[in-house]
Amino acid sequence: MTQQYFIRTYGCQMNEHDTERIASLLQDDGMTEATSMEDADVVVLNTCCIRENADNKLYGQLGHLKQMKADKPDLQIAVAGCLAQKDRDEIRDRAGHVDVVFGTHNVHRAVELLEHARTQGPIVEILEAAARDDAEAFPTALPARRESDHAAWVTIQIGCDNNCAFCIVPAVRGPEVSRPMSELVGEVEELAREGITEVTLLGQNVNSYGRDLALAARRAGEDVRIRPMFADLLRSVGNVRGIRRVRYTSPHPKDMGIDVAEAMAEIPAVCEHLHLPLQSGSDRVLALMHRGYNAERYLRVLHEARATIPDLAVTTDIIVGFPGETDDDFERTLEVAAEAEYDSAYTFVFSPRPGTEAADMVDEFCDPEVVKDRYERLRVVIERSGRAKHAARIGRTEEVVIEGPSKRDPNVTTGRTRQNKLVHFAVPEPIKPGSYAEVTITDASMQYLMGELVEVTAAPLRRRRIPVVSA
Ligand code: SF4
């Protein structure tokens, strides 16, 4: 009987993309996806240690799986991702029923490691860093089983060379390693041939894309004067025939130059949306966080981008209650947030991530009641600008890509605008996901827009490969 797998993913798009890749490898090995964890022969937990209580959630899940394995001894359990990279042997020390532990640099070894565990017993394999010369160590979109038929993630860079005091990423994803531009453009061309019309370029700090490539080439004795720049990559990817939308995440305010904004304005396919993490509006807190910019620099980058790119939507991340944040620091954050006039923001209450510098600043932790109050005040400021930005779109006709029927009402369809906003609208008959349509915006809330369908302008292009069966 065909073996079935089930993957539970925690965390960011990078992890979701790794999950696609693991799923693809398991399918190439002859497995099919189980509809529930209970039906699976192999369960993979692709972990994240950035979110709060990540380890509690993991060990809670592993407790449930221990019972499942007692009832079904052949069940294989694998733990992958950032928490596996960080905790290594500790995972099997705390949960001896886990068969395989692998990290962020050897996702491509998932099938071999499961096979090893089947024949030779449990295995923990964590690599310290991605090997630059091992093409397989890089996440490529091509062999992946994608969640979407019209959109794909393309990892342009793994790891991070920064050391933000609150962040565990450099410890678990290693130093920055960029993929060569020709390889990335080739991959996007292949995706376009398959009918993908939207790509999202992924990296921890996309603005430093290519820096390591130039350094590596120089170390190898090559005469490299010009490093590949992210703006060039945006232009090249945005000009690939068939690609109608290019998004990216995340830029870093300390490295973001006007060249990127100019490329965004110049290339029609690059969407008018910038996610520019602020984290704090206080120069003192930004310095404690080691962010490498101050509020003035941040606002300058943002204003330049808005002046360069017509109709730009801007979103951000802000941490409230970083250790040592005073009332005065927080006032600065409110001021910057008000001036930035965000479309929306992911606001987080600081919580310590074990292994980070900020986690050791225990004496400086803020009073939770004070932080709660600050969080609420920030929410009011963000909502004020968000509502105004959305209200300003009423009456406009916008291009959307259809995501599918609304979960609450099947007669309502959801699409996404170029500014990354969800629009709900009624349809006379279902429209296939991946289609493009024009929708007139009729109403707005903080989270989404409502509209009326004008017309469907393009059907999805996805060309599924027809399996070749030998006689
Ligand atoms: S730039 Fe800072 S927050 Fe972003 S991944 Fe690197 S260390 Fe983490």
Quote the ligand 1 centre to 277 CA distance (angstroms): 10
DSSP calls for 417-464: ETTS-EEEEE-SS---TT-EEEEEEEEE-SS-EEEEEEEEEE-----P
Please list the residue range(s) of the chain that carry CATH number 3.30.750.210: 148-271
The number of beta carbons lying within 10 Å of the beta carbon of residue 294 is: 17
pLDDT tens digits, 321-371? 999 999 999 999 999 999 999 999 999 999 998 889 999 999 999 999 999
What's the pLDDT score for residue 139? Answer: 58
What's the pLDDT score for residue 173? Answer: 82
Does domain 148-271 match CATH 3.30.750.210? yes
- 273 touches ligand 1 (CB under 6 Å): no
Quote the ligand 1 centre to 168 CA distance (angstroms): 8
Could you tell me whether strands 436-444 and 449-458 are parallel, antiparallel, or unpaired per DSSP bridges? antiparallel
Per-residue pLDDT at 262 exceeds 80 = yes
pLDDT tens digits, 143-161? 555 667 899 999 999 889 9
Q: Which residue has the higher pLDDT, 104 or 403?
A: 403
Which residue out of 13, 15, 160 has the highest number of ligand 1 atoms within 8 Å of its CB and is therefore the one to mutate? 160
**Nearest residue by C-alpha to atom 2 in ligand 1:** 164
- When mean pLDDT is compared across 177-181, 226-230, 352-356, the lowest value belongs to 226-230
Per-residue pLDDT at 63 exceeds 80 = yes
Cα–Cα dist 122/65, whole Å = 16
Please list the residue range(s) of the chain that carry CATH number 2.40.50.140: 397-458
3-state secondary structure of 24: helix
pLDDT classification of 470: cutoffs 50, 70, 90: very low
Comparing CA positions, the residue from 327, 324, 329, 304 lying closest to residue 314 is 304
The pLDDT > 70 percentage for the chain reads 92
Q: Which residue has the higher pLDDT, 225 or 276?
A: 276
pLDDT classification of 10: cutoffs 50, 70, 90: confident
- When mean pLDDT is compared across 12-16, 251-255, 312-316, 443-447, the lowest value belongs to 12-16
Cα–Cα dist 192/240, whole Å = 8
| Sheet strand arrangement including 344-349 | 273-275, 313-320, 344-349
Please list the residue range(s) of the chain that carry CATH number 3.30.750.200: 273-392
Q: In angstroms, what is the C-alpha Rg of the chain?
A: 23
Among the atoms of ligand 1, which is closest to the Cα of residue 279?
A: 3
pLDDT classification of 384: cutoffs 50, 70, 90: very high
- 205 touches ligand 1 (CB under 6 Å): yes
Contact 144, 427 (CB under 8 A): no
Beta carbons within 8 Å of 164's beta carbon, 6+ residues apart: 279, 289, 290, 291
Average pLDDT over the chain reads 90
Architecture of domain 273-392: 2-Layer Sandwich (3.30)
Please list the residue range(s) of the chain that carry CATH number 3.40.50.12160: 4-125
Per-residue pLDDT at 55 exceeds 90 = no
Architecture of domain 397-458: Beta Barrel (2.40)
Contact 413, 431 (CB under 8 A): yes
Whole-model pTM: value is 0.83
- For domain 4-125, which CATH number applies: 3.30.230.10, 3.40.50.12160, 3.30.450.20, 3.40.50.10470? 3.40.50.12160
Quote the ligand 1 centre to 207 CA distance (angstroms): 12
